Structure 1
Amino acid sequence: MCKFAFLFTIAFASHIALAQTSQPIGIDAERNLAELGSSTNATMVQVYDNRYEGIKGTPYFKEHWAKATIAANNTVYKNVEVKYNVYESNLLYRTPKGAEYVLLPARVDSFLLVDGVTQQKFMFRKFPALAAEAPKLGQHFALVLHDGKQVQLVMVPQKHLMKADFKGPYSAGNKYDELQDLQSYYLFGPDQTFIKVKLNKKSLLKALPGKQDKVAAYIAAERLDAGNAQGWAKALAYYESL
């Protein structure tokens, strides 16, 4: 495993600020990104093996490579080719020459992922307050679904590894390990206090005390589906406009 030694002179920043940070390009950007992690010639998922019939599912948020803008160490890197490894909560970065590096989560503040197929954008950030829910969530990247001035709705994607089980009289007979998707939703207030929510109308209205009647009327008038993130985002935007 190759290692590079390049010295960063800019202190670590915990929040993305595109207009106020440096933006290295070309070989400088490649060298800086290499310093954020370590090189490898193989997949980053090193905890698995190919026993029985192998592994079902993927550790990545998107299986294919995608372009991203990464904020790390008070520096912004644009047009970077990455995969987000949800299972290990890190970024797999590929250089134009094909070398691959793991960008450790402690060195990355946030990243904006653009799906190359749908062109949909996904903003991932850390929310340290989530450590109160579970210690590891404080360093886990959360997908921002609504980024308002008063409230923020985020989804924390996770992967659970279900081991193969083919022994015993009551076994289900699974001959493969399986990575299963887990999603948790949290609503943050202006002081970064948060509550865990479910995507349904009851949970939405309960999270917005004092303006429930107006929000309920808006949901009915606009025929919003409070069972998905898009419906919540529209309802929360209306809530903030009141």
Structure 2
Amino acid sequence: MKCNLVCLLMALSGAVSAQTQTTDPTVDLRLNNLNNPSSGPLIFRVDSRYEGQHGSPYLLPDWTKGQVSLRDGRQYKDVPLKFDAYRQALILLRPKSGNDSIIIDRQTIARFLLINPDGQPYLFSRYPTAKLSDEEVRDGFFLILYEGKTALLKRIAKVFKSADYKGGYSANIRYDSFSDAISYYILKPDQTLTKIKLSKKAMLDAMIDKEAALKPFIDQQKLSFKTEEDAITLVKQYDSL
């Protein structure tokens, strides 16, 4: 009786061992490495030098209540939004659907408004019919600094840079990073979209048709264009002439 029991246990043990070998290739690989010293040990190395990610792809880091106006006339108010400046994508949070989020089709958006916790508004718009050779820029979003007959626009984008710390010629930068890429544009009534710098010369070149009247105004107002407010002041004056 005891012999039969021992034989039965040995048989079951062999069956389990055989099943493990045939269904778990990880075990086989581990055993093969241990049994064959020439193949080397199974070692996983973790590079602890990586420092993670600096910066964010988003204009504002947290979900912000805002408004969205679609090109077909529909409007959504008081909805949680995030603007991904890296992908130029507007993301909508859907709390009633388990807090999942969706990217709103950019082509359907006319404008959207974000308001930060301090109450500062950010009104963005798209200008798909603007006359600009750079299709990627034209297809994105622009923050409206001033809008009259002429508009002063700010493009807020993000640039991603990968960590670079491996190899003999690395820059020893141990983190991925997102950084701001800011540019300014003037949109005229004929839909000409011109990239500018916030400088006296660049702005006068963009509004050269009224340069003679704008030059003395700049001097009178002592505009240095070190701030966006100076640029807004000049574009307002351009519209008034």
TM-score by length of 2: 0.72
Q: Percent identity?
A: 32
- What amino acid maps onto 1:213 in structure 2? A
Question: Shift of residue 139 of structure 1?
Answer: 2.4
Runs of 4 or more above 4 Å deviation:
none
Structure 2 distance, partners of 1:126, 1:227, is 26
CA contact (8 A) 2:159 2:180 kept: yes
Larger radius of gyration: 2
Residue matched to 2:220? 221
CA contact (8 A) 1:201 1:227 kept: no
Structure 1 distance, partners of 2:80, 2:162, is 31
- What amino acid maps onto 1:163 in structure 2? S
SS in 1 for 2:56: coil
CA contact (8 A) 2:132 2:193 kept: no
C-alpha distance after superposition, 1:150-192 (max 9, x if no partner): x212111111111111123332201111111111211121110
SS in 2 for 1:63: coil
Structure 2 distance, partners of 1:225, 1:122, is 24
Structure 2 distance, partners of 1:190, 1:62, is 31
- With 121-130 and 82-91 compared, the bigger mean Cα shift is at 121-130
Question: Shift of residue 130 of structure 1?
Answer: 5.4
**1:129/1:169 Cα in 2 relative to 1: closer, same or farther (>3 Å)?**
farther
Structure 2 distance, partners of 1:101, 1:55, is 23
Higher helix content, 1 or 2: 2
TM-score by length of 1: 0.72
Between the two proteins, the alignment pairs up a number of residues equal to 190
Structure 1 distance, partners of 2:94, 2:224, is 41
Residue matched to 1:110? 111
Structure 1 segment 89-238 matched on structure 2, within 5 A = 89-97=88-96, 98-117=99-118, 119-129=119-129, 132-149=132-149, 151-238=150-237
CA contact (8 A) 2:130 2:191 kept: no
SS in 2 for 1:214: helix
Structure 2 distance, partners of 1:133, 1:225, is 30
Structure 2 distance, partners of 1:121, 1:79, is 13
Where do 5+ consecutive residues of structure 2 fail to align? Answer: 1-48
Residue matched to 2:66? 68
Residue matched to 1:18? none
Alignment RMSD, CA only? 2.0
C-alpha distance after superposition, 1:60-83 (max 9, x if no partner): 111122221101242011111111
